[in-house]
Amino acid sequence: MLPTVEWRDDHVVMIDQRKLPGREVYVECRTALDVARAIERMVIRGAPAIGVAAAMGLALGVTRARAQGTSTLAREFYRLCDRLAETRPTAVNLFWAIDRMKRVFSEAARSGWSRDEIGERLVAEAKRIHDEDVATCRALGDHGAAVLPEQGRVLTHCNAGALATGGYGTALGVVRAAVAHGKRIAVYADETRPFLQGARLTAWELLNDGIETTVIADGMAGSLLRAGTVDVVIVGADRVAANGDVANKVGTYPVAVLADRHEVPFYVAAPTSTIDLDTPDGGGIPIEERNGREVTHLGSSRVAPAGAGVWNPAFDVTPHDLVTGIITERGICRPPYGDNLRAICTGGGH
């Protein structure tokens, strides 16, 4: 299993995803602010992974706090919650994980526990969020494996793999589970401009697992789908609105349109922690805009002339009518999403 992020003794260790696949470098975070900066700078990325990292960051914040009194500690804790929440706005897992940590903190503080005891509770909760995420990905993968043929080709966009989660992955978890069930699956990975998560990360982790992988430039997906080369498209999600609209890495929406045009099923693999019933539709999902340098440069080399305008939204929204199904750890949710997402999230079946 790839060590995406780990609580080690009294600090957090994460693999620096900016350096992959060239170098395997591990970054140590010793404070909550170290974690916040790691999320902003994409040392760690992917919706579930940044949720896990934020939870660990809050645990670090309390175990290392100098404050002794509960009210000073509470002020410090909630300040760190705000700091971590402002790192990236789109992935709802970040806010979901912070809310879980807030609940544990306030319960522990209400019970009159010492700072050390509260710290222990928070470390335990962060580790639980991590472990649950891996278990969730495995369950999701097992459900999703059923949509793949005995032998087939999957197209994916960005990296929704072990690196984007606590481990195992969502979209790539489906591929891993299918392979584990004996299916012969090959993957086409969109390179995913501008940050190249597909070319750098998806290809790296799938090849590490011995899964056949072909990298394509994003603009090639249409030709591939038209040629009938792809059996199923599977992508991850940063946030699924209550009506089934899906925010994911920019470039997902064009793939969904192409899949629809060529009658190829388009699945979204996402844990229920990515489903945001409080946001009615995709129009309400905040879309992060990142530094234009990611578009004008490839690494340190400038590829667009100085002076060119840049627009760099990190995510786009795929309307629910283009989504064949949403694969969760509780089963596959199909239209009508309004009712079925609510049922799957509240445990009432789907």
Measured CA to CA, the distance from residue 68 to residue 261 in angstroms comes to: 61
Rg (CA), the chain: 20
Catalytic residue at 238? Answer: yes
Nearest Cα residue to 185 out of 138, 235, 149: 149
Does the protein bind ligand MRU through residue 45 (CB under 6 A)?
yes
From the list 238, 260, 276, 316, the catalytic residue is 238
| Segment contacting ligand MRU by CB under 6 A, of 45-53, 59-67, 70-78, 113-121 | 45-53
Least Å from the CB of residue 157 to ligand MRU: 7
What's the DSSP call for residue 246? E
Nearest approach, Cβ of 206 to ligand MRU (angstroms)?
14
Our CA angle for 86, 91, 97, nearest 5°, is 75
| Main-chain dihedrals φ then ψ at residue 334, nearest 5 degrees | -125, 165
The stretches of 87-161 forming alpha helices (DSSP H) are 92-110, 115-145
**45 vs 143, which CB is nearer to ligand MRU?**
45
Query: Closest CB to ligand MRU belongs to which residue?
Result: 236
d(CA 86, CA 67): 23
162 makes contact with ligand MRU (CB under 6 A): no
| Three-state SS letters, 152-221 | EEEEECCCCEHHHCCCCECHHHHHHHHHHCCCEEEEEEECCCCCCHHHHHHHHHHHHCCCCEEEECHHHH
- Selected from 87, 165, 202, 272, the binder of ligand MRU by CB under 6 A is 165
Residue 122 or 248 with smaller CB distance to ligand MRU: 248
Residue 139 touching ligand MRU (CB under 6 A): no
CB 260 → ligand MRU: shortest distance, Å? 19
Q: Which of 238, 245, 260, 316 binds ligand MRU (CB under 6 A)?
A: 238
Give kind and range of the element (H or E) at residue 260. helix 252-261
Contact 317, 268 (CB under 8 A): no
Report the site for ligand MRU in 87-126 (rule: CB under 6 A).
91
Residue 163 binds ligand MRU (CB under 6 A): no
Q: What does the per-residue mask of binding to ligand MRU show for 286-315, with x meaning CB under 6 A?
A: ----------------------------x-
Q: Does residue 160 belong to the site contacting ligand MRU (CB under 6 A)?
A: yes
Where does this chain bind ligand MRU (CB under 6 A)?
45-48, 91, 158, 160, 164-165, 170, 197, 236-238, 248-249, 314
Residues labelled as active-site residues: 238
